[in-house]
Structure 1
Amino acid sequence: MSYEDNDTDEINKNSGDGPGSQLMGINTLIGNDVYNQIEEDLGDIKEIMLDMESGKIVYAVLSYGGILGIGEKLFAVPWGALTLDTTNKRFILNVEKDQLENAPGFDKDNWPDVADPAWKNEV
């Protein structure tokens, strides 16, 4: 799914002046596909986490594997690690698929303790 598919109100419509929108709604980005540079499908954006004090996006939750949410593995991906591919209308993450398969991640019932400084260093 791409951000254009989610943009039913056309608030992110490209003006033609550049490669894509500079301002996008969060709901438009949730569900977007994530690939790496060698065209491996890494999953999709399940959630976007906002720092309420600074107003900045801290990380995106990448959903990898599973079927209909069962058996999926979740990863906190720093927002700066994702690049918007406006040509293919998806995100690019510089990580190989086997790295995700072997990484710990978390599941939907056991989200990480983001207040834990050790967790912040892992992200």
Structure 2
Amino acid sequence: MSDAHTTSAPSHPFIESSRVEGTAVYDANGKQIGTIKRLVIEKVNGNVAYAVTSFSKFIGGNSDSHTIPWKYLHYDLALQGYRTNITEEQLHNAPEFSRRDDHLISGHEWELLAEYYAGPL
């Protein structure tokens, strides 16, 4: 993925979580594939661990939730949204627990999810 649009500094380096929710997610080609539903933040260090996302156009048909490690979403100033290299196939093959929308994943599930996405990206 090119960092051409992600390397320029935004007008302000911080953003409120409420402004991230609903922000578009784009594939590597710049096609909108979904939106961010919410962020999950580590309590102790304050870092965003992952985003629960809604992919509808990418998957086709009904909206499908997926938990995506935050490091695989990169803000693109030109698109005013987040780009990812995660493919439709990777989402289809992701661990089942990552498709749940109603709970926080456990530490073990987080490790499995991180390991799953670490390989192909």
TM normalised by structure 1 equals: 0.68
- Is it true that 1:33 corresponds to 2:24 in the alignment? yes
String of CA shifts for 1:20-44, please: whole Å, max 9, x gaps. Answer: 1311111111100001112332210
| 1:35-50 matched pairs, under 5 angstroms | 35-50=26-41
Quote the residue 1:19 is aligned against: 9
Separation of aligned partners in 1, 2:76 and 2:20: 12
Quote the residue 1:120 is aligned against: 110
Change in 2 beyond 3 A, CA 1:107/1:72: farther
Q: Which one-letter code corresponds to 1:97 in the other structure?
A: E
Q: Looking at CA atoms only, which structure, 1 or 2, has the larger radius of gyration?
A: 1
- Is it true that 1:60 corresponds to 2:51 in the alignment? yes
DSSP-derived class of the 2:99 partner: coil
Query: Which stretches in structure 1 are left out of the alignment for 5+ residues?
Result: 1-17
Higher share in helix: 2
Per-residue deviation, 1:122: 2.4
Q: Which one-letter code corresponds to 2:47 in the other structure?
A: K
Computed over aligned residues only, the root mean square deviation of the Cα atoms, in angstroms, reads 2.3
- Is it true that 1:89 corresponds to 2:76 in the alignment? no
User: Percent sequence identity over matched residues?
Assistant: 21
Query: Which stretches in structure 2 are left out of the alignment for 5+ residues?
Result: 1-7, 114-121
Instruction: Give the number of aligned pairs.
Output: 100
Separation of aligned partners in 1, 2:43 and 2:29: 35
